[in-house]
Chains A and B, each alone.
Chain A
Amino acid sequence: MSIEISAKSITPVRLAYGNLQQRFGDKKPASRYQEAVYDIQPTANFQYRPLWDKNHDIYDVSKTAIVMEDWYSFADPRQYYYGSYTIARAKQQEVAEHNFAFVDKRDLFDAVPEAVKQAVRDVLIPLRHVEWAANMNNCQITDECYGSNFSSVAMFNAMDRLGMAQYVTRIGLLLDGNEETTLDAAKQAWMDAPQWQGLRHAIEDMFVLDDWFELMVAQNFVLDGLVFPLLYDRFEKKLTQEGGSTVAMLTEFMDDWYQETVRWTNALAKVTAKESTENQALLSSWVSKWMDRLSIALEPIAIEAFGDDGANELVEVKAELLDRLAKQGVTV
């Protein structure tokens, strides 16, 4: 029966939803990505103002100083919607799970020199708090942003950061046979040790930023653009040379994640800067403000991680980031 019907050709009366026809034409079906992220957020005729913010509508373009003619002019190069996102992450977590199990089963940490383990405790494990903050900040962006493409990508990023905070925590547990000593020490350092206070202070100031796009710049452009290359890439390579390749197995997720994520932050920077000279100027001023603040904050951690080379490593990472942002049209 169904074969018979399929054999008769059933011609569609239209190929895509109206909003997508308007954006992309009516000649071909829309992609799953397009269907999932475009125009779902309400834009008009809001019923009530939020009790805590009488100056804004529930969704309001004026929650940031950035002005876009069309908030949907940015597209995620990865084309993530929930399904493709979770399936991609499930694959990565399978690898991570395998690596964690392998390290655990073979007691691979036993073979890692104590100095390397201590470096992991001192430098990597406190990053669980940094990822935790990144989770909060991206959740803030999901809350405040404009447009369903934006909220979708920010939401995925927020959950990624929770996942990575949990992976860092598991490294801490694995180091100590599931005792909490390392986690407790890392928290202590995060709260009190002088080398972490500049960063913690900067992050707490990010928590109270008014403009969600500035937060986007501070967190996802600048802080991530410094921390991931510096600590998950360069520092991991140093540890590997010193006999700590086991650690690199456990942070592979973060490394892959960052390589992937840079693609959408680049795309976002490019589209936003290209929109207007005002946007470009705002982005530049935010990048410059947070680059100064965060590179100073990260210096003691760079020194902890790399010793005498620390300052130089940080300068290189900073230069790479500025260069990358300049390619997207954000010059400082």
Chain B
Amino acid sequence: MPAKKLNLRKRYELLTRGMGWETTYQKMDDVFPYDSFEGIKITDWDKWEDPFRLTMDSYWKFQAEKEKKLYAVIDSFAQNNGQTNLACASYLSAIKLFITGVTPLEYGAHRGFAHLGRHFRGDGARIACQMQAIDELRHAQTQVHTISHYNKHFSGLHDPFHQFDRVWYLSVPKSFIEDAMSSGPFEFITSISFAFEYVLTNLLFVPFMSGAAYNGDMATVTFGFSAQSDESRHMTLGLEIIKFMLEQHEDNLPIIQRWMDKHFWRAYRLLGLVAAMQDYMLTNSPMSWKEAWEVYFVENGGALFEDLSRYGLKMPKYHELATAEADHISHQIWSVFCSLGNATGFHTFLPTEEKMAWLSEKYPDTFDKYYRPRFEYWAEQKKAGTFEYQKGLPQLCQVCQIPMVFTEVQTDPMQISYRVTEHGGDKYHFCSDGCKDIFEHEPEKYVQAWLPVHQIYQGNCGGPTLPEVLDWYKFKPEDSGDYIGSKDYHRWQEWKGADKKVKQA
């Protein structure tokens, strides 16, 4: 009997559906206890369709091929001391921030998607989440492997996971992922797959990896692009799940809109760190934060939301403010890091003349007017030996946990943006209306926040003095401070001493 030919769609359906069953010895609601408390109504899980129809055998085959290529590059990078081909060792501040701040997010996503991969009631959605759960594990592991070689030669990369749980600026990514992970499964997937991956991840990976290529960091380019091939699947999952939820029941729209507003703002605030990375930490930047924002959010994100408008979903709240802030945030965040450079696990450095010329060109309305004078003033102070790091600790936003540095860009860009609210007799402070709204909707969640500055003052971080806190972070003395004169700097000079083309930060 000649076998009936199965097309990809049908074959995939047979290999993913029908293996699960309606349980009878235990109630389905007990087997899947977490997929209803958020109020999302799903009437027919079978309407879920996977855009990519990967069975496990194909998954193993394609992923193994990607892994072989990646590890061939990592091995040859190490054997050939690829770190010596960087544009400048100061570039590594970006990698230091990446492994301490981003790699742990990949791990969190691995666990979060495993939760969904077990607890969504629909078979197809579960499998899609499981594939993402193992992909995210891949990303965490390949990042650790790639950056391992840099750790052998440079400061500040030695204890990323210890630091993620403790360091003042790393509570920004930590609180972001733990916010999503402590939410229900539908909110988690809206946060991570849609708001973060679909709407914003291109802003993290594409310009940053392109930036790595631009700065001679072939190892990072390779893991980054290799991870992006999975990321494209994840983004598509994000779009599919949003459409699926919206199509299932009209009551879902307001819930999703609120999550969208919340997690867009959460993710956007987190990406402020990336903005600083892109504009300042990269020795050569192929694209400014503002340009990336225009392409990946305003243009591509705009197209996305236009497509989703047929379901009634609107652009996330405060997106206009985010676009207005694109002229400012990278400068503001880098300024904070420079002014607290004695307490960062990566080196800070003032922008060179060449870099400032580039910033003036990319930010014609703001850089010369607001930010150049500050950097030039600091440069003069450094020259005169009078520069001092900021004394005392900054106040943090209760929600995004970034120091209060953002300004009223739409009215007075020199005025710090402060918002306050009261809850249970206590005052809580925010950097923006976006963060304040998030708090006010779920105050009982955000009052729990582990705010590093509060914790330091309460004596929970190694001791009352800065050296004690830094020791508790496992920051070594050579990890912090100015790049110029650092151990990394001297090592780089030693390797590159004879090379006239070396750029200095």
Would you call B183 an interface residue if the criterion is a C-beta within 8 Å of the partner chain's C-beta atoms?
A: yes
- On whether the beta carbons of B145 and A129 are closer than 8 Å, the reply is no
A142 to chain B, nearest CB (A): 4
Query: Are B184's CB and A155's CB within 8 A?
Result: no
Whether the Cβ atoms of A142 and B111 lie closer than 8 Å is yes
A2 within 8 A of B: yes
Closest to B33 in A: A52
Contacts of A43 in B (CB 8 A): 165
Pairwise interchain contact B184-A17, C-beta atoms closer than 8 A: no
* Chain B min CB distance to A198 (Å): 10
Q: Is the beta-carbon distance between B21 and A163 smaller than 8 angstroms?
A: no
Asked if A208 and B30 make an inter-chain contact with CB atoms under 8 angstroms apart, the answer reads yes
Produce 1/0 per residue, A67-83, CB < 8 A to B.
00000000000000111
In the complex, per-residue mask of B464-487: 1 if CB is within 8 Å of any chain A CB, else 0: 000000000010000000000001
Q: Is the CB of B184 within 8 A of A51?
A: yes
Interchain nearest-CB distance for B309 vs A (Å): 30
CB distance from A248 to the nearest CB of B (A): 19
Report Cα–Cα, A44/B455, bound state, in Å. Answer: 13
Instruction: Tell me whether B61 and A205 are in contact (CB under 8 A).
Output: no
Is the CB–CB distance between A48 and B21 below 8 Å? no
Interface footprint category on B: 35 or more
In the assembled complex, B326 has its CB within 8 A of some CB on chain A: no
User: Is there a chain A Cβ closer than 8 Å to B414's Cβ?
Assistant: no
Contacts of B55 in A (CB 8 A): 163, 166
Return the CB mask of B109-123 against A: 1 if under 8 Å, else 0. 011001101110000
Please report the C-alpha to C-alpha distance between residue A104 and residue B320 in the assembled complex, in whole angstroms.
59
Interface size on A, residues (CB 8 A): 88
Nearest chain B CB to A147's CB is how many angstroms away?
A: 11
B3 within 8 A of A: yes
Give the segment of B273-281, B297-305, B361-369, B445-453 that binds chain A: B445-453
Residues of B within 8 A of A81 (CB): 141
A170: interface (CB < 8 Å): yes
Q: Looking across the interface, which residue of chain A has its beta carbon closest to that of B99?
A: A17
Residues in B with CB closer than 8 Å to A132 are 19-20
Provide the residues of chain A in CB contact with B162, threshold 8 Å: 18-19, 39
Given A151-B111, A163-B60, answer yes or no on A82-B23 (Cβ-Cβ < 8 Å). Answer: no
Q: Given A166-B56, A207-B26, are A155 and B134 also a contact pair (CB < 8 Å)?
A: yes
A228 to B3, CA, bound (A): 30
Instruction: Return the contact of B18 from the options A86, A183, A200, A208 (Cβ within 8 A).
Output: A183
Contacts of B118 in A (CB 8 A): 136, 139-140, 142-143
With a cutoff of 8 Å between Cβ atoms, the chain A residues found around residue B159 in the complex are 17-19
Decide if B148 is an interface residue (CB 8 Å cutoff).
yes
**8 Å CB contact of A207 from B31, B60, B449:** B31
Inter-chain CA distance A138–B125, complex, in Å, is 17
CA distance A35 to B99 in the complex (A): 13
Report the bound CA distance from A156 to B60 in whole Å. 11
A148 to B164, CA, bound (A): 15
Q: A82-B134, A163-B57 are in contact. Are A58 and B181 (CB under 8 A)?
A: yes
Residue B427 is within 8 A (CB to CB) of chain A in the complex: no
**Residues of chain A in range 16-61 having any CB-CB distance to chain B below 8 Å:** 16-19, 29-30, 32, 35-37, 39-52, 58-59
> CA–CA, A116 to B25, complex, Å?
32
* Contact flag A44-B166 (CB < 8 Å), given A83-B70, A162-B127, A204-B31: yes
Q: Which of B79-87, B194-202, B381-389 contacts A (4 or more CB under 8 A)?
A: B79-87
| B354 shortest CB reach to chain A, Å | 23
The CA of A59 and the CA of B141, in the complex, are separated in Å by 19
B93 in contact (CB, < 8 A) = no
Contacts of A169 in B (CB 8 A): 14-15, 19
User: Could you say which residues of chain A place their CB within 8 Å of the CB of B166?
Assistant: 44-45
Question: Is B144 in contact with A36, judged by CB distance below 8 angstroms?
Answer: yes
Indicate whether B331 reaches chain A with its CB closer than 8 angstroms: no
Q: Which residues on A sit within 8 Å (CB–CB) of B500?
A: none
Q: CB of A317 within 8 A of chain B?
A: no
Report yes or no: B111 in contact with A143, Cβ–Cβ below 8 A.
Answer: yes
Complex partner residue of B81 from A5, A59, A87, A163, CB under 8 angstroms: A5
The CA-CA distance from A90 to B66 in the complex, in Å, is 11
The CA of A44 and the CA of B19, in the complex, are separated in Å by: 39
Q: Does B68 contact A (CB under 8 A)?
A: yes
Return B29 CB to nearest CB of chain A, in Å: 10
Contact B158 A18 (CB under 8 A): yes
The chain B residue with its CB closest to the CB of A15 is B152
Q: Which of A17, A47, A191 contacts B179 (CB 8 A)?
A: A47
- Complex Cα–Cα for A42 and B138 (A): 17
B81 and A2 contacting across the interface, CB-CB below 8 Å? yes
List the B side residues contacting A155 at CB < 8 Å.
Answer: 110, 114, 133-134, 137
**Are B64 and A86 touching (Cβ within 8 A)?**
yes
**Chain A contacts for B33, CB-based, 8 A:** 52
Q: Which residues of A contact B6 (CB under 8 A)?
A: 173, 178
CB proximity of A54 to chain B, nearest CB, Å = 10
Bound state CA distance, A15 and B148, in angstroms? 9
B114 touches A151 (CB 8 A): yes
In the complex, are the beta carbons of B445 and A48 less than 8 A apart?
Answer: yes
Q: Is the CB of B152 within 8 A of A47?
A: no
Tell me which residues across on chain B come within 8 A of A14, comparing CB atoms.
151-152, 158
Contact check, A42 vs B142: say whether CB atoms are below 8 A apart: no
In whole angstroms, how far apart are the Cα atoms of A190 and B318 in the complex? Answer: 53
Do the beta carbons of B15 and A139 come within 8 Å of each other? no
Interface check A281, CB cutoff 8 A: no
The B15-73 residues at the A interface (CB cut-off 8 A) are 15-16, 18-21, 23-26, 30-31, 33-34, 37, 55-57, 59-61, 63-65, 67-68, 70-71
Query: B31, B141, B445, B474: which has the most chain A beta carbons within 10 Å?
Result: B141
Contact, CB under 8 Å: A139 / B130 = yes
A111 to chain B: which residues have CB within 8 Å? none
A94 to B58, CA, bound (A): 10
Please list the residues of chain A having a beta carbon within 8 angstroms of any beta carbon in chain B. Answer: 2, 5-6, 10, 12-19, 29-30, 32, 35-37, 39-52, 58-59, 81-83, 86-87, 89-94, 96-97, 104, 128-129, 131-132, 135-136, 139-140, 142-143, 148, 151-152, 155-156, 158-159, 162-163, 165-167, 169-170, 173-174, 177-180, 183, 187, 190-191, 200-201, 204-205, 207-208
11 contacts between A and B (CB under 8 A): A6-B81, A14-B152, A19-B159, A35-B141, A40-B140, A42-B108, A48-B446, A49-B448, A58-B181, A143-B119, A163-B56
Give B contacts to A, CB under 8 Å: 1-6, 14-16, 18-21, 23-26, 30-31, 33-34, 37, 55-57, 59-61, 63-65, 67-68, 70-71, 79-81, 84-85, 103-104, 107-108, 110-111, 114-115, 117-119, 126-127, 130-131, 133-134, 137-138, 140-142, 144-145, 148, 151-155, 157-162, 164-166, 171, 174-175, 178-179, 181-184, 445-446, 448-450, 455, 474, 487, 491, 495
